[in-house]
Amino acid sequence: MVIGIVGATGEVGRTMIKVLEDFKIPVKKLKLFASNKSKGKFLEFNGKKIKVEELTEKSMKEKYDFLLFSAGKNISTHFAQIAANHGNIVIDNSSAFRMVPNIPLVVPEINGHLVKNYKGIIANPNCSTIQMVLSIHKIHEFLKIKEIYVSTYQAVSGAGHKALKEYLNQISGNNEKNVFPKQIAHNVIPVIGNILNDNFSEEEYKMINETKKILNDNSIKIYPTTVRVPVKYGHSESIIIRTEKKFKISQIKELLSKSENVIYTEDSTTPLDVEGKDIVYVSRLRKFDDYTFSIWNVADNIRVGAATNAIRILEVMRK
C-alpha cells in the first residue's frame, strides 16, 4: 500500500507512523508531508529514514491507498478536498468535516460499517469524544442513554507539540505563554477552545454534537465541561450517565467488559497507566440509583483519541 501522512512532524503525525509500525500495516511506500518549515527533516519508519516533503496541491493529486491528515482544520479544508477529488481515501483528524452530513464520523468499533466500499473523506472524531463513546456505546445499545454529564481532564499534548513544549518549559521555570491563555504548569484551565454560544467552549460542542452523530441518536442530552490539566499524555473523564431502563451494577460491568478495546478494572486508573496504550480503561463504577451511574474513563489521547482510531479505520477498509 501507498500511504501518505499530512502533518507528519506533529504530535499525532509522528504517532501515526508509530502505530502503522505497531499494527504491522503492510506499507509499500510511505510519504510524509508537512509545512515548508519542516521540509527536509527525516523521520524513521520501520528502521528506514524518510524525508519529509512540503505539502503541495500537486502532491495531493497523486494516487494513494490512504492519506492520513493531522495538520489542522484550515489545511484539511483545502488539501483533503483536493486529494478526495482525485480519487483518494482521506482519513482526517481535524474538525473540518466531522459534522458534514454526508461525511462519516467513524469509531470503527461502533460504526465501522459506514466505510464499507466508501471513497472520499472520513472524519476522525475528537479525542475526548472517542474514548467516551467507546466506553458507553454498548450501554446505550442495551439500556438507552438519556443523559450524559461529563467533566474532562485533558492532557496538554491534546493541544499539539508546541503546547507540550510550552508545558515542559514552564515546568523548568520559563513561564512564557504562547499556546494556552494561562499558565498550565501547576494549574488547571477550565476552558478548551474558543468560547461560542451561551459560554460553551468549542471542545464542549464537539463532545455534544459528535457523540450524537456517532451513536446515531439526537435525543441524548449531553452536559460537558472540558478542562486542561498539567498532564503530558492521557485524557481522563468523569462521566455520569442516566439510562431509560433500570439496570443492575453487574450488568454495567458486563456491558463495559464486552466493549471492544475497553477494559473495566477495579483499580483506579491514571493517565500514567495508559500512556502508549491503545485501550480505554474504565474504573470507579458507582451506582446512584436504578437509572444513574458514574465511571472514570482514561485513555491515551494521542493514540486512542487520534492516531490509533485513524489506523483502525484504515484497517477496517483494507480488510
Active site residues: 127, 235
Distance, in Å, from the CA atom of 94 to the CA atom of 218, rounded to the nearest integer, reads 22
Q: Where are the beta strands (DSSP E) in 10-99?
A: 29-34, 42-45, 48-54, 66-69, 90-92
Give whole-number Cα distances, 223 to 16, 67, 118, 275, 308, in Å. 31, 34, 33, 27, 27
Distance, in Å, from the CA atom of 257 to the CA atom of 264, rounded to the nearest integer, reads 6
Residue 122 · residue 90 · CB < 8 Å: yes
End-to-end alpha-carbon separation of the chain, Å?
Answer: 13
Grid cell of 50 as nine digits:
524518510
Pairing relation of β-strands 145-154 and 262-264? unpaired
Q: Tell me which amino acid residue 308 is.
A: T
Grid cell of 10 as nine digits:
506533529
Distance, in Å, from the CA atom of 267 to the CA atom of 287, rounded to the nearest integer, reads 17
